[in-house]
Amino acid sequence: MEKTYKYNPKKEFEERIKKILPDEKDMEEFWKFCHTEPINSIRCNTLKISPEKLKEKISKYCWKLKQPFKEYPEIFIIEKETDLKPGEIGKTIEHILGYYYVQDISSMMPPIALSPQKDDIILDLCASPGSKTTQMAAMMKNKGTIIANDLTVNRTMILNANLEKCGVTNTIVTRKDAVRFCQIWNKKIKKKFDKILLDVPCSGEGTLRKSPHTMEIWNLNFIKSLSQQQKKICSAAIPLLKKDGVLVYSTCTLSIEENEEVVDFMLKNFNLEIEDFFLPIKTREGISNWEGKKFNEKIKFCKRIYPHDNDSDGFFLAKMRKK
Amino acid sequence: MKIEIIEKKEKEKLLEKLSYLGNLKTENLFVKTGEKIRMFSGNLDKEEIKKIWRNFMIEGIGLYIIKDFKNKKKNFEETRLSLEGLYFFKEQIKSSIVEIDEEQKNKWFKGETITLKEEQKKNIQNQIVVLKFGEDFLGTGKIKEEKIYNYLPKERRIKN
């Protein structure tokens, strides 16, 4: 790759992307998109306003809006031709009133995969800043219950602020290390969850467009250590899931160690079955072979979202059911 | 966060204190956290909530909807809805509403005090009022000497 950008990937990182995307044109597209601004997208907060009403209210800003998915009219894309001032989308009165949430399209996919229902009890173990928590609360129409946990005061403060702005009433926010949370819940509370979202801390290779600095601080040892941490979080969370309960594992990274390897670990060590599922954006199959490791053949049911496929951030998702 | 689940009678009393806005009603659970009253609509019962609170650091439950403030020394008491409380009860709010214009709305979101216009002074019977622009409720304020003092939280204001 020609190095002409402000931030350039480390050689090792570049080599790994080459293995993930062996087609040269495909890989070139990937890097090209990594050096451009991602498309702006917003999610209508249906707890407060309908998509039609929101569209009417924000028409005064002359944003070129598109609702790309018929089944999900709450998702809006602000087309690239729109002349947006810096920070404009986050400064409107409609945003202050919580009528919409600024969220990348790929980050809207984990709640769609989990499909929370009105009477579900849901665990969102690494919840901050709350994009997916607020989306799930809207899908549940503020019914059921979400337990939204995160590690630090700063993170739960941001989470609480977003829940408040969106008018979420069905959530309890806790502050604990994810593994510790699961241990205490399992021992003291004992109530099982219908669904669990594990949107775990990751190396963020999928968000290079927003944080290009990641290209230069990228480190394989860090990825390996995150992979271990992710496996620990999953191992602690799975016992909290009901029989027949659904678990969605997601990251905003592309490394196999943090994605397929973790899912393979879960399938090998726990009573889980991986399921195929539909998402309304372009996805690619999970990778079954990596550096001599051969994963469960159903790993192909995992969904990889690449930035250049949907002009979004990169993401990874897997959906599993407890047997 | 210390939480206290509010019993039905106390909840009714609280809503009665807000009767200057209308006859407010909800089936949701009220939880007291200091001066702030939060509303929880989830499907966990009181005992389950208490159990979670005893075992975890609860940083938030439901939505902050009411501020119930008392100062015994000054013999002062004030009960008002938060911005989100207003949103939740919007269909039930019938009185103490001040309709504001575009210019006043812009000032309001900057956190400024609003001077009442002649037509806005009519029919105001309560010190605490709710501000409305078109169909949107924009928060509560306190009337003092023909001005509305701004209670909009800092994090919900427009920054220059």
A300, A264 Cβ separation under 8 angstroms: no
- Whether A85 is covered by a domain: the verdict is yes
Q: What CATH number did the domain enclosing A74 receive?
A: 3.30.70.1170
- Whether A56 is covered by a domain: the verdict is yes
Q: Higher confidence at residue A109 or residue B1?
A: A109
What pLDDT score was predicted for residue A211?
A: 85
Q: Mind telling me how many Å the CA of B73 is from chain A's nearest CA?
A: 32
Whether residue B59 and residue A189 make contact (CB cut-off 8 A), yes or no, is: no
What pLDDT score was predicted for residue A1?
A: 52
What pLDDT score was predicted for residue B58?
A: 93
Residues B7 and B78 in one domain: yes
Positions of chain A with pLDDT under 70: 1-6
**Using only C-alpha atoms, what is the Rg of chain A?**
19
* Residue numbers of B between 114 and 133 with CB closer than 8 Å to A: none
If one counts the domains in chain A, the total is 2
| Shortest CA distance from A181: residue in chain B | B56
Q: What CATH number did the domain enclosing B14 receive?
A: 3.10.450.220
Provide, as residue numbers in chain A, all residues whose Cβ is less than 8 Å from the Cβ of B155.
161
Please count the residue pairs, one from chain A and one from chain B, whose beta carbons lie less than 8 angstroms apart: 102
Residues A193 and A216 in one domain: yes
Provide, as residue numbers in chain A, all residues whose Cβ is less than 8 Å from the Cβ of B62.
169-172
Domain that holds residue A82: 40-102
State the CB neighbour count (10 A cutoff) for residue A98. 23
What pLDDT score was predicted for residue B75?
A: 81
Q: Which of B41, B58, B93 is where one domain is finished?
A: B93
Provide, as residue numbers in chain B, all residues whose Cβ is less than 8 Å from the Cβ of A179.
none
Whether residue A97 and residue B136 make contact (CB cut-off 8 A), yes or no, is: yes
Domain that holds residue B144: 96-160
Q: Mind telling me how many Å the CA of A150 is from chain B's nearest CA?
A: 10
Q: Which of A24, A50, A14, A8 is nearest to A212 (CA)?
A: A8
- Cα B113 to chain center, whole Å? 18
State the CB neighbour count (10 A cutoff) for residue A317. 26
Residue B58: which residues within 8 A CB-CB, separation 6 or more?
Answer: A172, A173, A174, B1, B3, B52
Q: What is the DSSP letter of B11?
A: H
Report ipTM for this prediction: 0.95
Q: Is B153 on the interface with A (CB under 8 A)?
A: no
Give the integer Cα–Cα distance in Å for B46 and B42. 11
Amino acid at A90: G
Q: What does the pLDDT look like over B87-136, one tens digit per residue?
A: 999 999 999 999 999 999 999 999 999 999 998 988 788 889 999 999 99
Nearest CB to B59: which of A142, A144, A175?
A175
Residues A236 and A183 in one domain: yes
Residues A117 and A88 in one domain: no
The strand pairing partners of B116, in sequence order, are none
What pLDDT score was predicted for residue A212?
A: 83
Q: Is B87 on the interface with A (CB under 8 A)?
A: yes
Provide, as residue numbers in chain A, all residues whose Cβ is less than 8 Å from the Cβ of B59.
153, 156-157, 159-160, 173-175
> Which residues of A carry out catalysis?
252
Q: Mind telling me how many Å the CA of A85 is from chain B's nearest CA?
A: 14
Report the 3 state secondary structure along chain A. CCCCCCCCCCHHHHHHHHHHCCCHHHHHHHHHHHCCCCCEEEEECCCCCCHHHHHHHHHHHCCCEECCCCCCCCEEEECCCCCCCCCHHHCCHHHHCCCEEECCHHHHHHHHHHCCCCCCEEEECCCCCCHHHHHHHHHCCCCCEEEEEECCHHHHHHHHHHHHHCCCCCEEEEECCHHHHHHHHHHHHCCCEEEEEEECCCCCHHHCCCCCCHHHHCCHHHHHHHHHHHHHHHHHHHHHEEEEEEEEEEECCCCCCCCHHHHHHHHHHCCEEEECCCCCCCCEECCCEECCEECCHHHHHCEEECHHHHCCCCEEEEEEEEC
- The full length of chain A comes to 323
> What 3-state DSSP class applies to A213?
coil
Residues B111 and B131 in one domain: yes
Q: Is B64 on the interface with A (CB under 8 A)?
A: yes
pTM recorded for the entire structure: 0.96
Q: Mind telling me how many Å the CA of B140 is from chain A's nearest CA?
A: 14
Provide, as residue numbers in chain B, all residues whose Cβ is less than 8 Å from the Cβ of A142.
41
